[in-house]
Amino acid sequence: MNVDSGMLLVIDSGNTNVVFAIYDGQDRIGVWRCANDPKRTADEYAVWLTHLLEHKGYKLTDITASALASVVPETRFNLVSLCRRYFGGEPLVVGDPSVDLGLEILLAQPEQVGADRLVNAVAGFSKYGGPLILVDFGTATTFDIVDGDGNYCGGIISPGINLSVEALYQAAAQLPLVEIKPTDHVIGNGTITAMQSGIFWGYVSMIEGMVKRVEEEFGATMKVVATGGFADLFAEHTPVIEATDRGLTLDGLVQIYYRNKVR
């Protein structure tokens, strides 16, 4: 890694989107996202980023270091190539054995935990303390458990809400594709409102039920923080979510980068 005084690029490669953000120290300057396409080359990413950076008054050469978390192996190679070719050399890649996360993974097979979930745990504990439940509304909805010492204790993976909507639409011939939104009444007065109620309030009930079960099993009251695309929407409609943090993964990557920079 190049660790000079230039800007840092962090990349969160998820199942649906790749999110790019640039930081000047701890200050986030810009955030952009694109669909995660394993066929997109390093050079294509560079051309796309060049235009976005120029719009903010920056150049590719302003970025001298990079950090990456990826849950899509097919995309990782091109993103690492992008960083090597354009952004100051070898990126920090969460999941590599040499990278110090500053937490223990209290699982029998720690290598199975997604990089994004570990990054969220690092950032979540740093910003909110523990014990903590992190709910990430992504392609899957995940619940990650962090103890009072900041260690990763395990989690829960459930289908993301968009997947649930799409599955219902594809599997039932007479059911339409509906918008994800809260309904005024739990009991629907037609097919669309019945579906919207089942999807939205059913998801709220799942969140509340899971939080209750986790706290009972863990043996303590826990702070619940949500991130991901639907975090704000669901936080408005359930009291169990105490805070939302859409930039949690990006901030965690920055924290991990600087932790390893000063070792």
Residues taking part in catalysis:
116
Q: Strands 132-137, 17-24: parallel, antiparallel or unpaired by DSSP?
A: unpaired
Question: Where do the H-state alpha helices sit in the chain?
Answer: 42-55, 73-86, 115-128, 161-171, 191-218, 231-235, 248-261
43 known ligand binder = no
Asked if residue 100 belongs to a known ligand binding site, the reply is no
Q: Pull the structure tokens for residue 238.
A: 């359930």
Q: Which two tokens stand for residue 234?
A: 């669901």
User: Is 244 within any annotated ligand binding site?
Assistant: no
Is 149 among the annotated ligand-binding positions? no
- 84 known ligand binder: no
Q: Is 14 annotated as a binding residue?
A: yes
Q: Quote the CA–CA distance of 253 and 263 in Å, as a whole number.
A: 16
Q: State yes or no: 136 annotated in a binding site.
A: yes
Q: Is 191 marked within a binding site?
A: yes
DSSP sequence for 73-115: HHHHHHHHHHHHHHSSSSPEEBTBTT---SS-B-SS-GGGS-H
Contact 165, 177 (CB under 8 A): yes
DSSP bridge pairs for 134: 144, 225
19 is in an annotated binding site: yes
* 115 marked among binding-site residues: yes
The binding site for ATP consists of 12-19, 139
The binding site for K(+) consists of 136
The binding site consists of 12-19, 114-117, 136, 139, 191
